[in-house]
Amino acid sequence: PSLSQFNEDTLQQRLQALIESAGEGWTYAIFWQISHDFESPTGDNTVVLGWGDGYYKGEEDKEKKKKSSNSNPAEQEHRKRVIRELNSLISGGGGGVSDESNDEEVTDTEWFFLVSMTQSFANGVGLPGESFLNSRVIWLSGSGALTGSGCERASQGQIYGLQTMVCIAAENGVVELGSSEVISQSSDLMDKVNSLFNSNN
């Protein structure tokens, strides 16, 4: 396997290991990876945090899942259409193939995760950017903390049913975790990120 394939596989394994070993109700984990924008208009070598990989676990509580997908019918139709198109794109345009997963409700957290794949952040901007620039942990717990943070990504997360969002800076990017439950800050999670995502461990 190529080196990039290797990195991709291990990134996925590390994100999965992080969520599965944390033992709390994390809904997803994303690794925002740094890259360098050499075509910046200012001519600077600008650091950008873009999608590296993500692991979506989902909500275990079925009632919560139900509650988190109560978007209006038009919005649901839009989400299902996007999922159908993406499924067709990934499967090489095998249009017409019926797939039951295309007609299932797309929950708010699934949608938030999916939309995240299209996003990137300049260094210092947004939740991941701020975490990376200052090499610090941002832990927002409780819907009030998400909306009160003044950060658009956190506000969006709250709208899509998240109650906890965490960004932990690592060597080559930022690990973001989100949950539809309220999860208190723990050094255990930060230690896990450190051991999984920093090479000096």
Partner 1 sequence: IPSVPQARKASLARFLEKRKERLMSA
Binding site for partner 1 (CB under 8 A): 4, 8, 12, 33, 35, 50-54, 56, 58, 83, 86-87, 90, 99-101, 104, 110, 113-114, 117-118
Do residues 151 and 162 make contact, with C-beta atoms less than 8 angstroms apart?
Answer: no
Residue-level length of the chain? 201
For the bound state, the minimum distance from the C-beta of residue 117 to partner 1, rounded and expressed in Å, comes to 5
Distance, in Å, from the CA atom of 104 to the CA atom of 88, rounded to the nearest integer, reads: 16
For the bound state, the minimum distance from the C-beta of residue 149 to partner 1, rounded and expressed in Å, comes to 26
Do residues 112 and 30 make contact, with C-beta atoms less than 8 angstroms apart?
Answer: no
Q: Residue 44 or 99: which CB sits closer to partner 1?
A: 99
For the bound state, the minimum distance from the C-beta of residue 194 to partner 1, rounded and expressed in Å, comes to 23
For the bound state, the minimum distance from the C-beta of residue 28 to partner 1, rounded and expressed in Å, comes to 10
Distance, in Å, from the CA atom of 176 to the CA atom of 136, rounded to the nearest integer, reads: 12
Quickly list H helices, the chain: 3-22, 62-67, 73-90, 108-116, 126-133, 143-148, 152-159, 187-197
Q: Residue 83 or 140: which CB sits closer to partner 1?
A: 83
Q: Residue 91 or 135: which CB sits closer to partner 1?
A: 91
For the bound state, the minimum distance from the C-beta of residue 184 to partner 1, rounded and expressed in Å, comes to 27
Q: Which residues make Cβ contacts (< 8 Å) with residue 21, sequence separation at least 6?
A: 192
Q: Residue 108 or 110: which CB sits closer to partner 1?
A: 110
Do residues 32 and 41 make contact, with C-beta atoms less than 8 angstroms apart?
Answer: no
Q: Residue 29 or 167: which CB sits closer to partner 1?
A: 29
Q: Which residues make Cβ contacts (< 8 Å) with residue 97, sequence separation at least 6?
A: 91
Q: Residue 16 or 141: which CB sits closer to partner 1?
A: 16
Do residues 196 and 17 make contact, with C-beta atoms less than 8 angstroms apart?
Answer: yes
For the bound state, the minimum distance from the C-beta of residue 105 to partner 1, rounded and expressed in Å, comes to 10
